[in-house]
Structures are given as C-alpha cells and as structure tokens.
Structure 1
Amino acid sequence: MADDTVPHLPQSINEMMRFLEAQDYLAGRGLATVIFLALKMKRPLFLEGEAGVGKTEIAKALSKGLNRPLIRLQCYEGLDVSSAVYEWNYPAQMLDIRLSEAAGLEDRERLEANLYSERHLIRRPVLQALGHAGEAAPVFLIDELDRADEAFEAYLLEVLSDFQVTIPELGTIKAAEPPIVIITTNRTREIHDALKRRCLYHWVDYPDAAQELSILTRKVPGAAEALSRQVVSYVQKLRTVDLFKNPGVAETIDWATALTELDRIALDPETISDTLGTLLKYQDDIARIRGGEGERILSEVKAELLAAG
C-alpha cells in the first residue's frame, strides 16, 4: 500500500517551481526544468557552481518537500570505500571467531558465511542510499565531489550507472528503487566526462538582484526592507570586484542576519567594516574592502537606490 505521507513528484516545470518555492528555495526556470527532468528520467543531477550559491540546498529542499530521508556523503581528499560505501565490523567478527573456537566449531565454510553476513556489514552512505527499505527511495547527496580523489570518482561509475555496488563477500546489492541523486562540485578540479555522461547537468550561478532580494526576504524576514535592498545591492557589486572568494547567497543571508541582530536599518562604513567577517572569508579581501573600495561601493549603492526611488 502506498504511503500517503510521501508526496507525489511534481508533474510539470511550473509545478516544480511552485514546489521549490514552498520549500523556500527560489529557482529559475532553467534549474527547475533540469530538476524536473532528473526526477522524471531517474537520472543523477550534477550541479556545478561557486561555493555558497545554493547547490546543497536543492537536495535539502527535495528531501523536505518529498518527505524523503536525506542521505549525505560529504566528500574529502582520501575518501575511500570503507568510509563511503561499506566496511566489515572487525571487532564483532573477531568475537565470533573466538566464540566459535571456544565452542569447538571447525566448519570453516560455515564460519566464513557467518563472518561475512549482513549482521556484520556496516553500511556507509552509498550503501544506505541503495539499500533503503522505506516506502520511497531517499535523496542521496554526494556533496563537493571535486574534493574526493579520482579513484573514488571512478568507483562511483557503477553506482550511478546501475544503482548497485558489488561486495566481494556478499555479491551485488542493487537498489529496488533508484535514489534521487544530487551531485555537487565547486569546480576546484574537473570531473571526468565518464561520470558526467551518467548525469543531467546544470551550472548554478549567483542570483540576480531581484531574485537575491526575494531569497533574503524569505530567509531573514526581520530585516528592514531598506537594509535588505542595500545589502543585496552591495553584495551584487562586491561580486564584480576582483576578490579571492566572492560572497555566496549563504554569506548574504549571514550578513543580513548579523546586521539585523545589531539593530541596523541601513549600511554605513563603520558597520560594514565591523561585520565584513560574516560576508568575506579571506583577510586580503577584507583588508581591500575596508579601505576606499568599500566606501566607493557603498556610495554607488546609495546613489542607485536613491535614483530608483
């Protein structure tokens, strides 16, 4: 019997846009289209873009809106099969061996079958996503794949092609229903074409000013309207400056939240200087904006907003 608590997938692009908006995620039509197609075609979705533009939030929005568990694999250098897919519970296996020896059991084949059974298998995120036993498959987030080594990327080819993994001692474990796979990368290195071919692709860019203001209004409802407009205009201009790391949407939200906590209703040079650590994450960038560059940007912001009425 179907579980009524599991919502149906959106049946059109417009419905997908409304679905995402209901989860407080404002997506353009291009992004909503590729998400819709990924769900319909049951293909992994490969999202590329700068850090902080909202790639990870897409997986969270799908998990929340579809009432499905979110299984997250956070990638890092040195990630291997034992951390990402599965490993054997060696202490429990050793205990079984000692108990078998104490009981005088000498059936080697039976002992090996007991040692390499499901009860000694520790399921890591990949195997959890493929072997989920609920009513609906989970959302499986493979986050920042570019941080992992190429060897692990190659391992994922079987997972993304056939939604299965092979465990030598147990055989092949295949998903009864493919999970919703979201792969993100900040493009610190190129991902091989072999993996990309298995996915639908979308570049997630920074939002334009109107979209970022809408996001800010939803995420920081306590911020003064004039302050929100100034913050968005300031950040938009800041992204045109040659910085080591441009602020993402997450930093815009953090900055507006910090300014609201300080009871600010408008930007001024002193406040900007004091709170730049919530917006910029590198000292060279902060030092540059604390100088005349930051004041120049603020003057432009105020002049443009004044002219706009």
Structure 2
Amino acid sequence: MAVRRSILGIDGPEPLARAMRDAQYIADEGLSTAAYLALALGKPLLLEGAPGVGKTEAAKALASVLGRELVRLQCYEGIDSAAALYEWNFPRQMLAIRQAGEEYVNLYADTFLVARPLLLALQAPRDRVLLIDEIDRADHEFEAFLLEFLSDFTISIPERGTIRAEEPPVVILTSNRTRELHEALRRRCVYHWIGYPAPALEAEIVMMRAASVARDTADRVVAAVNGLRAEPLAKPPGVAETVEWAEAATLLHSQGVAWPRAFLRSIGVALKDQDDLEWVAPRLEALLGGQAA
C-alpha cells in the first residue's frame, strides 16, 4: 500500500476529492474514499448507478488527477475478447508479403499488432487508466473472461507469448445495473454506488460546468429536473442533461425568450424520449411553476 501511495502522490480521500474538484468533478466523501482505497490497494473500482449520474466522468477525472491517458473499453451485447484484447492487421500483413517478394516477413511484429484497450493497459500500466464502461451490457461469458483478466493481468498471444503487466494497472468498471454482475467480479473490486446528487450539490455541478448559468437559474433547473425524475419516465434526465438544460435555457433567455418559456422550449435537451415528452407535457408547466424569475 505504501508503494502505491508513493506512486500516486495522494495521501487520503480528502486530497483526492480536492484534486478531482480541480479536474472539474465534485466527488462526495463516499466516492473519494472508495476511489482512494481502490488506488492505494491496487484493486479495480466498480461504480454502479443509474445512467447519467457521472460514473464515466468520475473515471475521466481520476485519469486527469493521475496524469494518465484514459483507455476506454465500451462494452456492448455480443462483445468478444478480440475487441478487448488485440487483433492482427491482416490487410497490412498481406500487403507486406506482396511487397517483400521472396524476402522473409515477420507477420507477427509489432507493426501488425492492433492493440485493444486491455492490451494497451498492460503495455503501459503506469501511464494509462483502463475504463471498462457499462460492463452490465456484456454477456456473462465476457464477464467471466474479464474476471480472469483482472485476476492476473496477463494476456496470452499465441504468436508472441504471454504479456504481463509490470504492476496492476488502474482499472475502473461502470455498470448501469441493467443486470446483476457475478459475485466473483464484485468481490475483486472496491464498490461504490453513485446516486443522483442532492439538489444543492447538483446546482454546484451546474455552476462548475456551465459558467454562463446564473446561480438562481441553476437552482431552478435542478428543482425542475428533480420533479422530472419523480415521474415514471423511461429515460430520466441525468446530471449531464441538467447542465445542458440550464445552458440551453440560459442561451434562449439571452436571445429574448422569457422565463419559463426558455425552459419549456429547451425541454428536448433534458428529455430524449418521445413517450417521456408526451407523458410530462400536460404537467410540465406545473413542474416548472415558479421556475422562472
């Protein structure tokens, strides 16, 4: 743990929280503590929460704090190990053979190897942060493959041998909890649930991310968003939508659109589903009641 701490240059959760704030991310005590422990102990950090609460942004902020490149593996249904590990550039290999004539060509040299996120993380663990995004979208087979990878941080390339990381890379996994993850994967990680922020904190996030938005507008749009989240919506607005709605309404207002009309006309920035728009339409003005100065 001491070695990890000396490498990271971070002495505890509070300094990490301050550093993340400098990277334009407000981490509460729970997140900063979980992130610090994961970094100090060399364990993956598993962040779960509803879409739009800032899980991926937290990974970006941590990479920024560490001064490392963020390497992102976006999971999806049907993803396989080739998309995560590596593949050989077959067209380039064939071109090299044709150009070489009778000369020998090493078809498995670095120039033909296309490294994917997991291999990239192993090749430079001190320079990169590996983000495995939305692991819950992958199938159980791929999750089992990842569990094996996280156990020893090695990749076997038949043509090249085994590649092992010099030290465990910083790994962050996110999940929207569309399905339950395997217990073995959870046990390997430091876990933290990210919920929607409290209204005061969300307004602070708006002010940090959108310099053009007045504090009063931030408070009012946050109140409206919390009203929307209380509705049975298919896709409730996340924190990013809160920031964008505040910016969009402010822009319209600066062009002469009066409040609350500026909020009403920019609702498509906050809600991205037609059924949701139809559901809230009859009650939208009530949700925005008092939302305009």
TM-score by shorter chain over 0.5? yes
Gaps of 5+ in 2: 1-5
- For each residue in 1:70-119, what CA deviation from the matched residue of structure 2 results, as whole angstroms up to 9, or x when unmatched? 1111112222222221011222333455567x4287xxxxx7xx333434
Counterpart contact for 1:86–1:123, Cα < 8 Å: yes
- Structure 2 residue 247 is matched with structure 1 residue 257: yes
Contact 1:137-1:177 within 8 A present in 2 as well: no
What per-residue deviation string (whole Å, max 9, x for no partner) do you get for residues 95-144 of structure 1? 455567x4287xxxxx7xx33343432111110111127xx231111111
CA displacement 1:134-185 (0-9 Å, x = unmatched): xx23111111112222222211122211111122222221111222111111
Output the CA distance in 2 between the equivalents of 1:137 and 1:197.
Answer: 26
What are the residue-to-residue correspondences of 1:71-220 with 2, within 5 Å? Answer: 71-97=71-97, 102-103=101-102, 114-132=106-124, 136-220=126-210
State the partner residue of 1:222. Answer: 212
CA distance in 2, matches of 1:86, 1:17: 35
TM-score in terms of structure 1 length: 0.85
Q: What RMSD in Å do the two structures reach over aligned CA positions?
A: 2.4
Q: Is the 8 A contact 1:273 1:290 kept in 2?
A: no
For the structure 1 residues 104 and 252, does the alpha-carbon distance in structure 2 shift closer, same or farther, using more than 3 Å as the test?
closer
Q: Which amino acid aligns with 1:172?
A: T
Q: CA deviation at 1:280?
A: 0.7
One-letter amino acid matched to 2:268:
G
Is the alpha carbon distance of 1:217 and 1:98 closer, same or farther for their aligned partners in structure 2, counting shifts above 3 Å? closer
* Contact 1:158 1:165 (8 Å CA) reproduced: no
Q: Structure 1: which 4+ aligned runs deviate by more than 6 Å?
A: none
DSSP-derived class of the 2:120 partner: helix
SS at match of 2:232: coil
Preserved contact between residue 231 and residue 252 of structure 1 (Cα < 8 Å): yes
**Cα distance change, pair 199–8 in 1 and its aligned pair in 2 (3 A):** closer
Aligned equivalents of 1:235 and 1:250: distance in 2? Answer: 11
Larger radius of gyration: 1
| Counterpart Cα distance in 1 of 2:264 and 2:275 | 13
- Structure 1 residues 75-84 or 38-47, which shifts more? 75-84
TM normalised by structure 2 equals 0.89
**2:10–2:16 contact (8 Å) kept in structure 1:** yes
- Measure, in 2, the Cα distance between the counterparts of 1:257 and 1:150: 40
* Contact persistence 1:213–1:229 (CA under 8 A): yes
2: CA distance, partners of 1:153 / 1:164 = 16
Q: Which residue of 1 aligns with 2:272?
A: 281
8 A contact 2:26–2:205 mirrored in 1: yes
CA distance in 1, matches of 2:56, 2:204: 19
Q: Structure 1: where are the runs of 5+ without partners? A: 1-5, 106-110
Aligned sequence identity (%): 47
Distance of 1:8 and 1:163 partners within structure 2: 20
Tell me the CA shift for residue 54 of structure 1.
Answer: 0.4
- Secondary structure at 1:140's aligned position in 2? strand
Aligned length: 287
